[in-house]
Structure 1
Amino acid sequence: MAMFATLLGSGPRAPDSAYAYTRLALSLLIATIVGAGMWAVIVVLPSVQAEFGVDRAGASLPYTLMMFGVAFGTIMLGRIMDRTGVAALLAVAAAGLGGGFVLAGMAPSLAVFSAVHGLLIGIFAGVGFAPLMADISHWFIKRRGLAVVVVASGNYLAGTIWPLVIKWGIPAVGWRATYIGIGVFIAVTVIPLSYFMRGRPSAQMMAEAEAATETARAGIGVSPRLLVMLLVAAGFSCCVAMSMPQVHIVAYCGDLGYGVARGAEMLSLMLSLGIVSRIGSGLVADRIGATTTLLIGSLMQGVALALYTLFDGLTSLYIVSGIFGLFQGGIVPMYAVICRELLPPREAGSKIGLVVSATILGMAFGGYVSGVIFDATSSYRMAFLNGILWNGFNLAAVCWLIFSRRRMAGGLSRTAA
């Protein structure tokens, strides 16, 4: 705490300054802590199922409601951040998320447990997505892509750390005490940390950012509303495609006779390489632009999905899963960078929240529809082909955006001549 107080309390509060990088480190820490809201229920699912005496579908309901809560919370909290700044929002969200974990740990029934995940844990876990990404985007210009993907990596770090903590806690103290402990930890860490996030961009910084986005948006010749609609459609489509391996790779390996443990290893490989992908995509975006980086990531995601339909050997699946992880991890944060580059900065939280929520809903829909296709065909081949089709929709939207920019640039060049 003292370190953050020293670093955040000194130096110029300007884009790409030492203050900005210290704020970035703090944002990553907070995103990793609140990321527990998305991963905890997955780990305790077997314990919850056994205690409440329900089937697997019933035990999965809290996760489904939590995901819808995250999607809603990402939009709602993003809009609030635009008005109040991120500090007060973090404090409220930490209290709500911490309280949600405590209440879930004391839930007398699955219905209460599920409701808490949808109304408290899910909604307030959304603070780690759009609000934090939107906030950090104001503090970087030269390294904005890198800053946004670093904050977005907090969710993947949470997915690496929290399951290990919970797996230790369940046999030691039980899932209920583990949940209560997580809730208390979130509240006593994030609420004080939010104090150090009080700084807000100056009026001059916001005015310069506004002018820059207007110039960039004029270069593609579309209205803000149309651009948001395009990004929502693109984000939903790419995540429908992305969900197929992420949600079903464990079951797929089980069906092939390799065992679910192998599938879990492949999922872990995807997530770990996804962190590398996110950081790498941020570095690339700062050099060639977020839209071109998104195009590359989407194209390679489609290639990886196609490889899943061609190879099903154990070694091949590890390799393809690695390729998939190396490119899919950087896709979603690019939507946040594009929003920040092309849309009004004073609406960054709400617009990024809307687009990111579309990606979350795309994951939820894609995971479900892939299961439906498997049930209908008794094979994942058509499910992979369905993912390739949705990825094609995403590619088309991104290509249209790039084409519009180049067409406008060509028109301006001819006019100048």
Structure 2
Amino acid sequence: MPRLASRFSIFYGWWIVTVGMLSLLLAGGIGIYTFGAFFTPLIDEFGWSRAQLSLAMTIASLVGLFGPMVGTWVDRYGARRVMAIGALIAGAAIALLGLTTSIWYFYVISLVMALGLVAILNIPVATAVSNWFVERRGLAMGITLTGFGLGGLAMIPLASYLIANLGWRMAYHLLGLLICIVLIPLSIFVIKHRPEEKGLLPDGKTPQESKPSPSVVEDEHDRELTLKGALRTKAFWLIAGALSLAFIGAGSVIAHVIPFFQDMGIPHQTAATILGLTIGVSILSRVAAGYIADRMSVKYLALFFLLLQIAGLLLLLGTSSMAMVWFFVVVFGLAIGGMFALEPLLISAYFGLASFGAIYGGLWVFVSIGFAAGPPLAGYIFDVTGSYDLAFILFMAATLVAMALLLFLKPVKLSWRPG
């Protein structure tokens, strides 16, 4: 009977996946994806230009410069403490955005919000999930990262509904409160940084199942690079360059696609729903990319999804009918979902787990630069030309360069060698 009971028990790692998914759903959905839903109401009330408002997203994105520090904290203190503090800071800051009276206030609070978000998004979540899974890491990571897609699917329409019925100020207050009341207790009481904290092994294996070969966890942690070691490799800089260039386009579309569709004559709530569905479609590729990454090269999967991103931008450039809009939803949704899922898997595949948080944080510096550069550039191009066409062309070119960089990516020589 004990054997039968254990066979049907749920491995605690899946609870880590569940909480990680909820963290990404709320933090990503509210802190990142709803930015476009507030775009038009803020411009209507304050008369800011699109470039001015987009600068807030740039300022928030630059907080990724603190990624290495947050990653080091996660490696040292564990994901639980970092996520609980991050949820408090992010939730409070989002609520305070509802008190905005000037563009400078909006910039400062956006920066504080981003400081909290970096502590409850990819770095701590992906680090914890990577520690709990080895053989099924790709699948577990893919499922976890569906939180981003579910966040876009749920939070964008929710924010749009709250704005329409309660006003944008109350919408910010309620969304900030939601992050605090859900994520703080879950981070404190559920998150465990490593399976050893509960006397378990990765993937739910028993000690007997691990005996035929050396512990996978020990192998992985012995053979991996520190952040300093990773910085000396060509692979780190190729991945960093590729991700920063890829996310220039992804971040810009997320920030500007709602006003872009409104310029086509599509109502605000419908445009918000389109973005929500785009993020929703990304759920499919997040899971699929994680599952496939357990079976084939992460590098070639990334190239495929970057090609899809170019196709999605091309569809925006030539959008002339609702049929093309829905085609964009599918293509671009699959593209961004796949790239978000593969981002942490590229790190574990090329650098291992020993300093996963710190290395992921280091790469987030460059991802944040991409997110930071794209939205204001797109806003400036629109303000000057009255169109996003030139921006979309530039972002397609940047994605092509990202693909070229990944083509040169080769396995890293790690310090560990099998005996």
For normalisation by structure 2, the TM-score amounts to 0.78
Alignment partner, residue 158 of structure 1: 151
Q: Tell whether 2:116 aligns with 1:124.
A: yes
Provide closer, same or farther for how the CA distance between residues 99 and 317 of structure 1 changes in structure 2, counting only shifts above 3 A: closer
The one-character-per-residue Cα deviations of 1:148-173 (angstroms, maximum 9, x if unpaired) are 23222222322222233334444655
Alignment partner, residue 94 of structure 1: 87
Q: Tell whether 2:356 aligns with 1:348.
A: yes
Counterpart amino acid of residue 318 in structure 1: W
Q: Tell whether 2:77 aligns with 1:66.
A: no
Matches of 1:123 and 1:238 in 2, distance apart? Answer: 23
Contact 2:128-2:192 at 8 Å conserved across structures: no
Offset at residue 116 of structure 1 (A):
1.6
Alignment partner, residue 238 of structure 1: 246
Alignment partner, residue 76 of structure 1: 69
Alignment partner, residue 127 of structure 2: 134
Contact 2:92-2:176 at 8 Å conserved across structures: yes
Alignment partner, residue 23 of structure 1: 16
The one-character-per-residue Cα deviations of 1:135-189 (angstroms, maximum 9, x if unpaired) are 2112112221222232222223222222333344446555444433433333232
Matches of 2:259 and 2:47 in 1, distance apart? Answer: 21
Alignment partner, residue 210 of structure 1: 221
Matches of 2:339 and 2:253 in 1, distance apart? Answer: 15
Matches of 1:384 and 1:137 in 2, distance apart? Answer: 35
Q: Within 5 Å, give how 1:37-52 maps onto structure 2.
A: 37-49=31-43
Contact 1:74-1:131 at 8 Å conserved across structures: no
Alignment partner, residue 367 of structure 1: 375
Provide closer, same or farther for how the CA distance between residues 104 and 349 of structure 1 changes in structure 2, counting only shifts above 3 A: same
Matches of 1:179 and 1:261 in 2, distance apart? Answer: 17
Counterpart amino acid of residue 221 in structure 2: E
Alignment partner, residue 183 of structure 1: 176
**Greater Cα offset, 121-130 or 197-206:** 197-206
Matches of 1:114 and 1:48 in 2, distance apart? Answer: 13
Counterpart amino acid of residue 210 in structure 1: H
Offset at residue 105 of structure 1 (A):
3.7
- Name structure 2 gaps, 5 residues minimum: 202-214, 414-419
Counterpart amino acid of residue 22 in structure 1: W
**Greater Cα offset, 389-398 or 74-83:** 74-83
Matches of 1:183 and 1:153 in 2, distance apart? Answer: 21
Higher RCO (C-alpha under 8 Å, 6+ residues apart): 2
Contact 2:308-2:334 at 8 Å conserved across structures: no
SS of structure 1 residue aligned to 2:292: helix
Matches of 1:110 and 1:378 in 2, distance apart? Answer: 22
Counterpart amino acid of residue 192 in structure 2: R
Provide closer, same or farther for how the CA distance between residues 11 and 66 of structure 1 changes in structure 2, counting only shifts above 3 A: farther
Contact 1:266-1:321 at 8 Å conserved across structures: yes
Q: How many residues align?
A: 383
Provide closer, same or farther for how the CA distance between residues 161 and 308 of structure 1 changes in structure 2, counting only shifts above 3 A: closer
Matches of 1:251 and 1:40 in 2, distance apart? Answer: 13
Matches of 1:390 and 1:375 in 2, distance apart? Answer: 21
Matches of 2:157 and 2:398 in 1, distance apart? Answer: 34
Contact 1:11-1:19 at 8 Å conserved across structures: no
Offset at residue 263 of structure 1 (A):
5.1
Offset at residue 118 of structure 1 (A):
0.9
The one-character-per-residue Cα deviations of 1:272-318 (angstroms, maximum 9, x if unpaired) are 21121211111111121322211221223234444555664442343
Alignment partner, residue 270 of structure 1: 278
The one-character-per-residue Cα deviations of 1:329-378 (angstroms, maximum 9, x if unpaired) are 21133121010122141211121123234233313322333444556666
Give 2:347's match in structure 1, choosing from 316, 319, 339. Answer: 339
For normalisation by structure 1, the TM-score amounts to 0.78
Alignment partner, residue 78 of structure 2: 85
Contact 2:54-2:379 at 8 Å conserved across structures: no
Alignment partner, residue 185 of structure 2: 192
Identity over the aligned pairs, expressed in percent? 23
